[in-house]
Amino acid sequence: MREAETIARLRELRQLRAQRARETVVRRHAAMVGAEKALRDASVAKTLHLQKAASEEKAQLASLVGQQVDVDRIHQLQGFFHQRADELAQLLDIESSASAAARRHEEKLAAARVEHRVCARAVSKLDLVLEKLSSNSVYGKVVREESGEDEPAEHGAFKKT
């Protein structure tokens, strides 16, 4: 193979690698968008739970105003408050893991973008090399034609013995 053919084949291979890297960027971007949506959903669920729990607690405490409260009712309210606190802890854990997942996906996306940039730059460099080789070979051919190197048999300068 000639040098230009070899470089052209290498360029094709690098271009395929750049295409795969671009596809990876697209997949990781989609995963990051999904992770960010999950984080927003977890945050909204936590906020809604806090609002609902606050209104229920106010209603529960308002129902006690002006009445005698027995021990069973106090235990019932404590159980209710503990249940809401446990639900909030679960929602906070879900939000925390969703946030960590979103950060991981952002990091993976950043790495994929860097990889794609490196691959695209390699293809560009090979494009420049091919362009230079083709311009050099055209220039060399013109110089040879002008200097008469392509016509040695006609002039008899080089004879085969």
Length of the chain, please? 161
- In angstroms, what CA-CA distances link 72 with 57, 65, 68? 17, 16, 12
Q: Which two tokens stand for residue 45?
A: 């669920």
- Going 97 to 103 to 105 to 107, the CA torsion angle's sign is negative
Q: Kindly list the domain boundaries of the chain, sorted by start residue.
A: 3-146
- In angstroms, what CA-CA distances link 138 with 5, 60, 112, 115, 146? 15, 90, 39, 35, 12
Q: What is the pLDDT of residues 23-82, one digit of tens each?
A: 999 999 999 999 999 999 999 999 999 999 999 999 988 888 888 888 998 899 899 999
**Mean pLDDT on 109-127:** 94
Tell me the pLDDT band of 137, cut-offs 50, 70 and 90. low
* R_g over Cα of the chain: 36
Tell me the pLDDT band of 141, cut-offs 50, 70 and 90. low
Say if residue 127 is exposed, middle or buried (CB neighbours under 10 Å; 0-12, 13-18, 19+): middle
For the chain, give the mean pLDDT: 85
pTM: 0.68
The predicted structure's pLDDT at residue 75 = 92
Amino acid at 36: E
Cβ atoms of 98 and 39 within 8 Å: the answer is yes
Geometric angle at alpha carbon 81, from 78 and 84, rounded to 5°: 150
Geometric angle at alpha carbon 45, from 39 and 48, rounded to 5°: 140
**CATH classification of 3-146, choosing from 1.10.287.1700, 1.10.3720.10, 2.30.30.60, 3.40.190.10?**
1.10.287.1700
